[in-house]
Amino acid sequence: MPLRERIRRMVEARWFQRAIITVIVINAITLGLETSPAMVDRWGDVLYVVDHAALYVFVAELLAKIFAYRLRFFTDAWNLFDLAIVVISFMPATGVTVLRALRILRALRLISVVPSLRRVVAALLGAIPGMASIALLLGLVLYVAAVMATKLYSRTAPDFFGDLPTSLFTLFQMMTGDAWSDIAREVMAEHPLAWMFFIAFVLVCTFVVLNLFIAVVVSAMEEEHKKERSVEDAILAQLAELRAEVRRLRDAAGADGRLAGALATAGSLPNGASNGASNGADGGAAKANGAHPNGGGGRRGSRKDRRRGR
């Protein structure tokens, strides 16, 4: 077997995928422990070695995949995702806090390794076109409500509705359900009917628009599951056809074997036995006709007996 084929089978093996998942989890734990100064003071060298060892394992995995798949490696979006994360890990992080923090992105490699997480992400990406129109609707509702709140309550609650950007942020906070009743009560202290505005906004944004987002995502996930079921059904149908074909071939081979066995048995009989069997068959037929086996000789003998009698 060629070396490239052996490496391809290795990187696609289940044990190899489980080993990579284990390395990712261990690396994520070590990066979390590095946030503790006490752990760094005590186990800093060990954490450093484990972090770099995990990085080298990821590099070896990518090199093996590139060698096995060649140019096809770059046609898979998940492979490019893994490559980008590993490249980010090699950026110089000395004195740059952001780049050091980006090392935790290696934990996101679980998405590309675990099939169930890949399905969820694929469903979310597939739901983006349907979510765009809902996001536009939500932005329109937020903008209209922010303009109204700024004009109505800017003097009453300038910390929440002093200008348009502040109103947008406040209404977004209220849409998430974060302390919206406290903001509403502060405004209602001077505007008793303000509850009508806030309740209408919360009902429209939280219970209608956000539920539309959830519905689109759930629908996309159902479509993803249907695609997987269709692929599985096609594979099962092909397996059933292959099994039926193998069964037909076995039956045909069995019939041919029985016929060949019968012919071989007939051909293995001795010549004398076969000749005797044929002569016996001929004699039996002659006796059945009331004649001597040598039919001609019997008739001549009877004629001689009649002449002697005369």
The DSSP result for 49-109, as a single string, is HHHHHHHHHHHHHHHHHHHHHGGGGGG-HHHHHHHHHHHHHTS--TT-HHHHHGGGGGGGH
Number of domains in the chain: 2
Mark whether 17 and 104 lie in a shared domain: yes
- The residues, ordered by sequence, that sit 6+ positions from 7 with a Cβ below 8 Å of its Cβ are 64, 67, 68
* Domain end call among 89, 113, 137: 113
Ordered per-residue pLDDT tens for the chain, 310 residues: 788 888 989 988 989 989 999 999 998 898 888 888 888 888 888 988 998 899 899 999 999 999 999 889 898 888 898 888 888 888 765 555 566 677 778 888 888 888 878 888 877 787 787 788 888 888 899 999 999 999 999 888 899 999 999 999 999 999 888 888 889 998 998 898 999 999 999 888 877 877 888 888 788 777 767 776 776 677 877 888 888 888 888 877 776 666 666 666 666 555 544 444 444 444 444 444 444 444 444 445 545 455 454 4
**pTM > 0.85: yes or no:** no
Q: What is the CATH number of the domain that holds 32?
A: 1.20.120.350
136 and 75 fall within a common domain: no
Indicate the burial class of 201 (C-beta count within 10 angstroms; 0-12, 13-18, 19 or more): buried
Give the span between the Cα atoms of 196 and 211, in whole angstroms: 21
212 and 172 part of one domain: yes
